[in-house]
Structure 1
Amino acid sequence: IIRVTGGQKVKADRDESSPYAAMLAAQDVAEKCKTLGINALHVKIRATGGNKTKTPGPGGQSALRALARAGMKIGRIEDVTP
């Protein structure tokens, strides 16, 4: 329904994968969900996977925290790393 990335929220390339960018993206998602009347979410977190890291980075945790602080109810948290 809604997809926002860290790269859409910050100007510098080095900040795209930072927890700050993830927090801004999550706040934007929460705001758009509320305008659509959605107040509960199932969250899927994805790391790079493949030959790279299989664990989600620090941005995943800050994004979840930002969603919870924005008043969204979080149902399931699922890791969908390939």
Structure 2
Amino acid sequence: MSEKKETQEKKKDVEPSKKSKDLKKSSEAVVNIYTSFNNTIAHVTDMSGRTITKVTGGMVTKHGRLKANSTIAMFIAKRIEENVKDLGIKLFYVRIRSKTGNPVPGPGAHAIIKSLTRSGFKILNILDTTRFPRGGPKKKGGRRGRRP
């Protein structure tokens, strides 16, 4: 009986702890920032596209009007720093995306980049991946257009 207990204890010691996501240590990552005038979402992935961390404005504050604020974006960057620093990541590729058709991203994008550089991360590349309309369906208003 005691032999069975000993073998079971040895098996427990031998089994390695399994993580749900086994991330390799690399020094580079991609930060996908989606900003609108209502919310800010920052999604950090490794170079192959696997998620490391994702932080949104709603995870930082519960006030709906503040989610797209630049101050909240700084807190988002701080949360990213806390989640990423023990993985050994020091270099970021940044992709900024805003709502389709907007010429300018929301107020949170630049604040996140600024906070990450101040906290010691190096930004290798900033890319704007905002989609733009290519014609699409016919707009309402008829032949002579919409009149006031």
Which category describes the TM-score, using the shorter chain as reference length? 0.7 to 0.9
Q: How does 1:1-82 map to 2 (within 5 A)?
A: 1-50=52-101, 53-82=102-131
Q: Which stretches of structure 1, 4 residues or more, deviate above 4 A after TM superposition?
A: none
In structure 1, runs of 5+ residues without a counterpart are: none
Q: Is the 8 A contact 1:6 1:22 kept in 2?
A: yes
Higher relative contact order (CA 8 A, sep 6+): 1
Distance 1:37 1:49 in 2: 34
Distance 1:37 1:68 in 2: 16
RMSD value over aligned CA atoms? 1.2
SS of the residue 2:54 aligns to: coil
Higher strand share: 2
Q: Is the 8 A contact 1:7 1:21 kept in 2?
A: no
1:9 CA drift (Å): 0.5
The residue aligned with 2:45 is none
Question: How many equivalent pairs are there?
Answer: 80
Higher helix share: 1
Higher alpha-carbon Rg: 2
TM-score, normalized by length of structure 1? Answer: 0.88
Distance 1:21 1:57 in 2: 12
TM-score, normalized by length of structure 2? Answer: 0.51
